[in-house]
Structure 1
Amino acid sequence: MIPVLEIGGTHVTAALVDLRDGVVCRVRRPLNAQGDATDILDALRDTAASLPTVPGARWGVALPGPFDYVRGVGLFTGVGKFDALCNVNVRAALLKRLRPRPAGIVFVNDAHAFLTGEWRVGTVRGHRRAAGVTLGTGVGSAFITDGRICENHRGIPPEGRIDLTKIDGLPLEVTVSRRAIIARYGDPAADVRDIAERAREGEAKAHHVLHDTFTRLGAALGPFLVNFGATALAVGGTIARSWDLVSPALLTGLTAGGWAADDAHACENRSQPGAGKIFGEDKTLQARLASSASPPRGLNALRIARADEDAALIGAAHAVTHNHPADQGV
């Protein structure tokens, strides 16, 4: 059993993962990414402490960048979250706080963990080359070839990060991010979920803001998918829960960017948060994979993440088993 933490801009999730059976148990709690370092680190400790103990285990920790994943040191500055962890040795802090003391800690980019999990169990299973984006506080992205994350590959953004690109000469997250959507909508009391509800109720302004935002994201992402040769794109994150509004706009933008995809609504059902094995008590993960359908033929596949948050948890556990022990921190 592999203990993991998945850290986002508004939450932290602790889980135990069995790479055959999936996520065995999970605890999710809110997290204030604008808090001071002690508060953030203590929140991670308290969430982790809610899990059954696994003495002598190595932990996997998935979190967004900028972060030095080898040294375990935060590089956050000017990104609107976790600024208090800039230059903080998060590995040392967690080794001190977690009980029983871990044998080591492996850090992995949250988008990399997400896509790795989706490659193992989700909607990009069976695709030789695929990509993933996470839509939450910011925009995360990753590209994978035969199960290996690509960070420096011809045709993809620097480090595989779409957030390092620009739209209309400005950083992408000035246009596509939680704070960008709220600012453009003009009501600071409304979160993205509220804006989505207003769009569903027929409010033209809310619909326009969301449609234009994700059309622009698709147009920016499309050429990279073409150059990389991706045949599938998995989309996850909290904003992706408004898939009925995100997918048509994203599909329009991807098509404009040259990446022709199939009907985004013909997607797999995503798992729901909660305790228990995400694949059911009567199937092991290997049995599920053996029965997976072949990749779609013809058009590329645009899909909401099947495993969703579980994908990042599974990807973090995968990193523990596939990283060299020297990179795991003791």
Structure 2
Amino acid sequence: MNSSSSVAIGVCIAGKGIKCAAVNLSTNKIVPGSFVESSVRADGSARHICTLWAMNIRKSIERSGADRIAGVGFSIPGNFDYTNGVGLYRTKAKFGELYQVNVKDEIVKRLGLDYEVPVRFVNDAIGFAIGGQSMARDTSNVVYIIIEDGFGSGFISNGYPVLKGANVPAGGVVYNLPFKDGIAEDFFSANGVLKAYQESGGKMFINTRSLINAGHHGHAQVSEIFQQFGQDLGEVLAPVLKKFNASKVVFGGNLGRELDLYGEQFRASLATHGCTSAVEKESDEQDLFVVGGAQLTKDQYWMSIESLLPLMD
């Protein structure tokens, strides 16, 4: 069995479900066989959501081979009170039934955890970034970008999140940066790519996954959409990366990790704007959201970032 001090449960919450796994805190790698993924209705009742979350976490605990766990750490999207573990969602379709629900207490109760076992929460994009840095053990400045339904970001310096200061956008977020006639997230997201395709006259593909597949098969119109996507993305991120003196930018998310479709144009756009940051995508071997969540159970690390929780969007 694994010892209680070496294994924690990392959890990633998304609009369509939950992913969780036991993580070895010595190696920062997922314990083989402990990864669990399940769909959960975001418009369900608080009882439904919390019960299914706890059920999946319990499966990871059971599969970990650990007699005890060091804690549970969530990478979870806002709106959320990350300090107290309370949902602040107001939209029914996005965990609206968790509004003012103490998720921490509900999970502790359903898992039957001892009071000294920590259950902690962080913004999902920050969790992704923390996970990436825990794997890389990199002390340089790195920017993590998630492109899925939204356009998330995490700025990391010397292993810790940066959410304020002259060298990062307000709150450490890029989704609301001005671009064209709107904000960046209008363009660099699943809906943004689909809208660009439709505005170009495309009618064949009705969702982002089908667009991605078409791009990989060389569909000319779709390939052109992704090429423009990469060029525009470089225009938006180049000044941000330069200001942060980022050694690299790491992409994740269902759309972000598809660098084969837009990476060449993105790198060229960065170069055009005088940015020399390296460009990478998340590893397929480890889920950074999950690994990042598990890092929250390390008391010393948690105490170093706890003051940042109220700043997380």
TM-score scaled by length of structure 1 = 0.77
Q: Match of 2:144?
A: 132
Asked whether 1:23 is paired with 2:39, we answer: no
Asked whether 1:237 is paired with 2:268, we answer: no
CA contact (8 A) 1:114 1:309 kept: no
1:307-326 deviations in Å (ceiling 9; x for gaps): 6652222221212102249x
Q: Match of 1:249?
A: 265
Asked whether 1:49 is paired with 2:58, we answer: yes
Residue 76 of structure 1: how far off its partner (Å): 3.4
Q: Match of 1:323?
A: 302
Asked whether 1:314 is paired with 2:270, we answer: no
Q: Match of 2:82?
A: 69
CA contact (8 A) 1:14 1:47 kept: yes
Residue 194 of structure 1: how far off its partner (Å): 0.9
Cα distance in structure 1, aligned partners of 2:24 and 2:126: 19
Q: Name the CA shift for 1:138/1:32 in 2 (closer, same or farther; >3 Å).
A: farther
Which stretch shows the higher mean deviation, 306-315 or 144-153?
306-315
Q: Match of 2:235?
A: 219
Letter in 2 for 1:121: M
Q: Name the CA shift for 1:88/1:252 in 2 (closer, same or farther; >3 Å).
A: farther
Residue 11 of structure 1: how far off its partner (Å): 3.0
Q: For residue 48 of structure 1, give the secondary structure of its aligned residue in structure 2.
A: helix
Q: Name the CA shift for 1:308/1:109 in 2 (closer, same or farther; >3 Å).
A: farther
Cα distance in structure 1, aligned partners of 2:191 and 2:264: 22
Structure 2 counterparts to residues 125-274 of structure 1, below 5 A? 125-186=137-198, 190-260=206-276
1:292-318 deviations in Å (ceiling 9; x for gaps): xxxxxxxx3111123665222222121
1:246-300 deviations in Å (ceiling 9; x for gaps): 312332343344323xxxxxxxxxxxxxxxxxxxxxxxxxxxxxxxxxxxxxxx3
1:197-248 deviations in Å (ceiling 9; x for gaps): 2123332332233332343233211111101111111111222342210312
**Following TM superposition, where does structure 1 have runs of at least 4 consecutive aligned residues deviating by more than 6 angstroms?**
none
Q: For residue 293 of structure 2, give the secondary structure of its aligned residue in structure 1.
A: helix
Q: For residue 4 of structure 1, give the secondary structure of its aligned residue in structure 2.
A: strand
Residue 168 of structure 1: how far off its partner (Å): 1.8
Letter in 1 for 2:280: R
- Note the aligned Cα RMSD (angstroms): 2.9
Asked whether 1:93 is paired with 2:106, we answer: yes
Q: Match of 1:303?
A: 280
Q: For residue 60 of structure 2, give the secondary structure of its aligned residue in structure 1.
A: coil
CA contact (8 A) 1:56 1:100 kept: no
Percent of aligned pairs sharing the same letter: 25
Q: Name the CA shift for 1:96/1:232 in 2 (closer, same or farther; >3 Å).
A: same
Q: Name the CA shift for 1:257/1:47 in 2 (closer, same or farther; >3 Å).
A: farther
Q: Match of 1:278?
A: none
Residue 141 of structure 1: how far off its partner (Å): 0.5
TM-score scaled by length of structure 2 = 0.80
